[in-house]
């Protein structure tokens, strides 16, 4: 019944322009924004009314959101297809708070690994981690793919410039074709380079291919010296025996667990590059921000709950208004990697068409997530947002303060002014997208049609007091919980990713065809057979 009421309400709203909603309610912002700690969420530029949220909350109640939140935080196997709990939230539980699953103290295990990380970080920062020839490590290369690359890289790049606490340089390599690693190896010194091999299963082809290349590079440069792997490799995995088999000694192994999904793993030892970039104090501040968001999500009323509100508004746009794309638009170059991170978080989690009951879903699920740094995107794809034929919802993200007070010197005034320019553009673009011509001062009816702005593109704005480890931790956890809430409403499992598996299996079989001494096109389609023929001839 709640869905029917929501869809009927959508019919009433489809003819209404966001500009008219503002014109009819001078207090609209006051009613349609919410704050948690350093985050302010303004959703007044969404095409909805306060009663829309009442209907959405009823949909959430009928979908069993309260029950599923209890299951998530109670350690139930919410990942039903793999019969696993999803306990990424346990990675940020304080040490003095008990966290037990099936009689096992997982909290103690988490904090044991954090202490192991801290020992590694201190040793590297102090110049005491040395290569096999005795020189101090100056460069660290993280080799991973998916969640083992996107999360650590996004956070490290976002925070290192202002909160960095490391004498070493961080690099990331993920592509299976070796192009990233090949470029890095031309510039690095093998005597002073440390590699982190991050793979939950430690069987990921992309990661192990890059790891093997790195090992061969070291052996060609330094010889097969005793202690080479001990001095130049750290492993992070849920399968210690696989790390040992590859050659990584026990003291260089960090542990994650089956109940940590790859795209939810930056809070674990997978986040070692973050800890190397920020120091452990910075990493723990990141965890605190996420932990406080966990508590807000669990206990705040839904109408004041940032993750729940974001999720419900997304459901409204997708299922009621037919808006099937979401652009993530950070107005801060430090968040350059955030859109790519959220693409994986949302589309790998909720890009599903089969429900928890094993039947095809009856409603659209995850939208297409895309985006870019706002000031650059204004010169790229904003033309489509403003005057194209596609409806796109937008998340604008910007910190209010860019430079801390000690940076307010004469030499920094220009950079402060540039940040103010970014803030102005963020507010102007969201206003124009939502209100269209009504955002322009004075009459615009005399403008030619190709210069008009229709507006009515739904926008939310997330203001951060400032970008810090704590605020970024809260921001990322907010999006994690948003994804979970939407999965509950759509009746899907957000914690598996079977859609990525079959392609890898077919790739293994195809690789054998490429390397075979004789052509064999049996069992494949004519297109692939033709392409294989061209590849072999070349």
Specify if 70 maps to a domain.
no
Which residues on adjacent β-strands are paired with residue 143? 173, 197
* Apex 135 CA angle, 129 and 139, nearest 5: 65
pLDDT at 500 over 90: no
| pLDDT at residue 511, as a whole number | 86
| pLDDT at residue 520, as a whole number | 78
- The residue from 490, 512, 527 where one domain ends is 490
pLDDT at 274 over 80: yes
| pLDDT at residue 342, as a whole number | 98
| pLDDT at residue 98, as a whole number | 86
- Residue located via tokens 């793993």: 265
Average pLDDT taken over every residue of the chain: 94
| pLDDT at residue 168, as a whole number | 93
pLDDT at 165 over 80: no
pLDDT higher for 99 or 290?
A: 290
Q: Which two tokens stand for residue 519?
A: 């052509």
pLDDT at 193 over 80: yes
* Residues 369, 377: Cα–Cα separation, whole Å: 15
Q: Do 370 and 343 contact (CB within 8 A), yes or no?
A: yes
Q: Which two tokens stand for residue 468?
A: 């810090």
- The residue from 276, 292, 322 where one domain ends is 276
Specify if 284 maps to a domain.
no
| pLDDT at residue 407, as a whole number | 52
Concatenated DSSP letters for 239-282?
A: -HHHHHHHT--GGGEEE--TTS-GGG-TTSGGGHHHHHHHHHHH
What lies within 8 Å, CB to CB, of 482 at 6+ separation is: 307, 308, 310, 311, 314
pLDDT higher for 445 or 225?
A: 225
40/182 same-domain check: no
Count of C-beta atoms within a 10 Å radius of residue 51? 9
Which sequence positions are flagged as catalytic? 348, 379, 504
Q: How many CA atoms are closer than 13 Å to the CA of 94, on its beta-carbon side?
A: 8
Specify if 506 maps to a domain.
yes
Could you give the 3-state DSSP secondary structure of residue 497? coil
121/221 same-domain check: yes
Q: SS3 letters for 356-388?
A: CCCCECCCCCCCEEEECCHHHHCCCCHHHHHHC
The percent of the chain in helix, strand and coil, each rounded to the nearest 5, is 55, 15, 30
| pLDDT at residue 100, as a whole number | 85
Q: Do 233 and 289 contact (CB within 8 A), yes or no?
A: no
pLDDT at 83 over 90: yes
* Residues 156, 276: Cα–Cα separation, whole Å: 9
Give the count of domains, the chain.
3
* Residues 143, 210: Cα–Cα separation, whole Å: 7
* Residues 387, 454: Cα–Cα separation, whole Å: 7
The per-residue pLDDT for range 44-61, each reduced to its tens digit, is 999 999 999 999 999 999
253/348 same-domain check: no
Antiparallel, parallel or unpaired: β 368-371 and 100-101: unpaired
270/360 same-domain check: no
| pLDDT at residue 451, as a whole number | 87
Count of C-beta atoms within a 10 Å radius of residue 217? 18
367/456 same-domain check: yes
- The stretch 515-532 carries a mean pLDDT of 85
Percentage of residues in the chain with pLDDT exceeding 90?
Answer: 83
- The stretch 100-110 carries a mean pLDDT of 89
Residue 326: pLDDT band (50, 70, 90) is very high
Specify if 287 maps to a domain.
no
Give burial (CB, 10 Å; 0-12/13-18/19+) of 33: middle
Burial 355-373 (b: 16+ CB within 10 A, else e): bbeeeeeeeebbbebbbbb
| pLDDT at residue 382, as a whole number | 96
pLDDT at 467 over 90: yes
pLDDT at 513 over 80: yes
| pLDDT at residue 325, as a whole number | 98
464/337 same-domain check: yes
305/202 same-domain check: no
Q: In what order do the strands lie in the sheet with 139-143?
A: 169-173, 139-143, 193-198, 233-237, 253-255
Q: How many CA atoms are closer than 13 Å to the CA of 224, on its beta-carbon side?
A: 2
Q: Which two tokens stand for residue 21?
A: 């909603």
| Lowest model confidence (mean pLDDT) among 146-160, 274-288, 500-514 | 500-514
Specify if 90 maps to a domain.
no
331/189 same-domain check: no
Q: What is the CATH number of the domain that holds 368?
A: 3.40.50.10490
Domain span at residue 532 reads 498-537
Q: Which two tokens stand for residue 148?
A: 């083992």
135/52 same-domain check: no
| pLDDT at residue 515, as a whole number | 85
The per-residue pLDDT for range 400-448, each reduced to its tens digit, is 998 765 555 666 777 888 899 999 999 999 999 999 998 887 756 678 8
| pLDDT at residue 410, as a whole number | 67
446/370 same-domain check: yes
Specify if 406 maps to a domain.
no
* Residues 453, 433: Cα–Cα separation, whole Å: 8
| pLDDT at residue 103, as a whole number | 84
- The stretch 116-138 carries a mean pLDDT of 97
The per-residue pLDDT for range 32-46, each reduced to its tens digit, is 999 999 999 999 999
484/514 same-domain check: no
- Output the pTM of the full model: 0.95
Specify if 293 maps to a domain.
no
Write out the H or E segment, with its range, that includes residue 398.
Answer: strand 393-401
Specify if 73 maps to a domain.
no
| pLDDT at residue 409, as a whole number | 65
393/451 same-domain check: yes
């Amino acid at each position: 019944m709640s869905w029917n009421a929501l869809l009927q309400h959508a019919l009433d709203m489809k003819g209404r322009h966001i500009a008219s909603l503002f014109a009819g309610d001078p207090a609209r912002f006051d009613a349609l924004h919410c704050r948690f700690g350093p985050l302010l969420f303004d959703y007044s530029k969404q095409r909805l009314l306060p009663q829309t949220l009442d209907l959405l909350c009823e949909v959430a109640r009928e979908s069993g959101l309260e029950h599923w939140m209890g299951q998530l935080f109670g350690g139930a196997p919410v990942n039903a297809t793999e019969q696993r709990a999803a306990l990424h939230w346990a990675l940020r539980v304080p040490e003095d708070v008990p966290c037990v699953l099936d009689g096992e103290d997982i909290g103690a295990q988490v904090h044991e690994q954090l202490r192991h990380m801290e020992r590694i970080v201190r040793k590297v920062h102090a110049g005491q981690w040395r290569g096999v020839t005795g020189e101090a490590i100056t460069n660290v290369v993280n080799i991973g793919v998916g969640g083992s690359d996107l999360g650590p890289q996004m956070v490290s790049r976002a925070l290192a410039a202002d909160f960095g606490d490391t004498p070493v340089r961080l690099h990331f390599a993920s592509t299976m074709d070796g192009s990233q690693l090949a470029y890095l190896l031309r510039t690095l010194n093998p005597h002073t380079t440390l590699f982190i091999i991050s793979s939950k299963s430690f069987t990921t082809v992309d990661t192990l291919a890059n790891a093997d290349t790195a090992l061969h590079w070291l052996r060609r440069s330094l010889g097969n010296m005793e202690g080479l792997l001990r001095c130049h490799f750290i492993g992070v995995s849920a399968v210690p025996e696989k790390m040992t088999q590859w050659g990584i000694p026990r003291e260089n192994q960090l542990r994650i667990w089956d109940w940590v999904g790859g795209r939810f793993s930056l809070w674990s030892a997978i986040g070692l590059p973050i800890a190397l970039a920020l120091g452990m104090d910075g990493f723990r501040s990141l965890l605190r921000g996420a932990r406080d968001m966990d508590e807000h999500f669990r206990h705040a009323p839904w109408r004041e709950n940032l993750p729940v509100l974001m999720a419900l508004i997304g459901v409204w746009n997708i299922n009621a208004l037919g808006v099937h794309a979401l652009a993530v638009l950070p107005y801060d170059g430090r968040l350059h990697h955030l859109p790519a991170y959220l693409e994986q978080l949302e589309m790998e989690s909720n890009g599903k068409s089969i429900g928890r009951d094993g039947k095809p879903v009856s409603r659209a699920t995850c939208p297409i997530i895309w985006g870019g740094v706002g000031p650059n995107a204004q010169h790229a794809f904003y033309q489509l947002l403003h005057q194209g034929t596609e409806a796109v919802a937008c998340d604008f993200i910007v910190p209010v303060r860019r430079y801390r007070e000690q940076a307010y010197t004469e030499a920094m005034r220009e950079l402060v002014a540039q940040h103010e320019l970014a803030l102005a553009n963020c507010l102007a673009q969201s206003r124009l997208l939502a209100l269209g011509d009504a955002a322009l001062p004075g009459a615009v009816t005399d403008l030619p049609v190709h210069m008009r702005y229709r507006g009515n593109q739904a926008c939310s704005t997330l203001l951060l007091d400032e970008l810090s480890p704590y605020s970024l931790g809260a921001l990322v956890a907010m999006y994690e919980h948003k994804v979970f809430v939407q999965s509950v409403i759509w009746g899907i499992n957000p914690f598996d990713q079977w859609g990525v598996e079959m392609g890898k299996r077919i790739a293994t079989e195809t690789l054998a065809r490429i390397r075979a001494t004789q052509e064999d096109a049996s069992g494949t389609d004519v297109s692939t057979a033709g392409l294989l023929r061209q590849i072999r001839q070349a």
